[in-house]
């Protein structure tokens, strides 16, 4: 006996077309590497959340990965391939993150875009927006920002 009716199954199948298995795989690979990747940048992360969804004043939001330390939060947008327009949209969302997630004023919020494929212009643009840029390769991930990069807070 199935708990789902035919309509529920069709809706799920339609949604799965828009959220590709590659994106899910990217999130799993990245989530497993978050702690060491950011530890090398001085972050002492202790937990992550994936697929954080919610609503604030009738505005819906969704975050791919959120990583936390005692006083810092890193919000990570995961893309198989990203373009400048993705960075623009992510920065808009980041500017609302504090109110969406009800984050206290003393906590710093950083943004990052993780990807498998991109063009150099998108990577440079993301860094100019003060975002961490994380390239996922094989079974690992690495922040590609220059060592003197100073991330912005939101």
Q: At what angle do helices 84-94 and 120-128 cross, to 10 degrees?
A: 20
Nearest C-alpha neighbor of 96 from the set 45, 135, 56: 56
**CATH label of the domain that carries residue 104:** 3.40.1350.10
Domain assignment present for 134: yes
List of residues 6+ apart from 112 with CB closer than 8 A: 74, 75, 76, 77, 131, 132, 133, 134, 143
pLDDT in tens, 77-86: 988 888 999 9
Domain assignment present for 126: yes
Domain assignment present for 128: yes
Domain assignment present for 11: no
Report whether pLDDT(123) > 80: yes
Domain that holds residue 82: 20-143
> Reduced to 3 DSSP states, what percent helix, strand and coil does the chain have, rounded to the nearest 5?
35, 35, 30
Residue 147: both structure tokens together: 């060592």
130 touches 93 (CB < 8 A): no
> What mean pLDDT is predicted for residues 20-42?
70
pLDDT value of residue 21: 54
122 touches 82 (CB < 8 A): yes
Domain assignment present for 150: no
Pairing state between β 47-56 and 132-137: unpaired
State the number of CA atoms in the 13 A half-sphere of 125 facing the CB. Answer: 15
Report whether pLDDT(129) > 60: yes
Domain assignment present for 38: yes
How far CA 147 is from CA of 3, 27, 41, in Å, comes to 52, 25, 9
Domain assignment present for 28: yes
DSSP letters spanning 58-101: TEEEEEEEEEE-SSEEEEEEEEEEE-HHHHHHHHHHHTTHHHHT
Higher pLDDT, 106 or 119: 106
Q: In DSSP terms, which residues pair with 53 in a beta bridge?
A: 62
Q: What percent of the chain has pLDDT over 90?
A: 52
User: Domain tally for the chain?
Assistant: 1
Domain assignment present for 10: no
């Amino acid at each position: 006996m199935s708990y789902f009716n035919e309509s529920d199954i069709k809706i799920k199948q339609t949604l799965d077309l828009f959220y590709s298995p590659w994106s899910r795989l990217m999130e799993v690979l990245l989530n497993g590497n978050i702690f060491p990747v950011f530890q090398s940048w001085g972050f002492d992360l202790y937990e992550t959340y994936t697929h954080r969804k919610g609503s604030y004043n009738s505005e819906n939001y969704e975050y791919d990965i959120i990583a936390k330390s005692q006083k810092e939060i890193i919000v990570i947008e995961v893309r198989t391939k990203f373009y400048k327009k993705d960075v623009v949209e992510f920065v808009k969302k980041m500017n609302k993150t504090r109110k969406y997630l009800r984050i206290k004023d003393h906590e710093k919020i950083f943004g990052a875009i993780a990807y498998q494929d991109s063009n150099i212009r998108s990577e440079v643009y993301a860094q100019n927006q003060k975002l961490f840029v994380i390239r996922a390769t094989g079974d690992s991930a690495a922040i590609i920002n220059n060592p003197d990069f100073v991330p912005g807070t939101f």
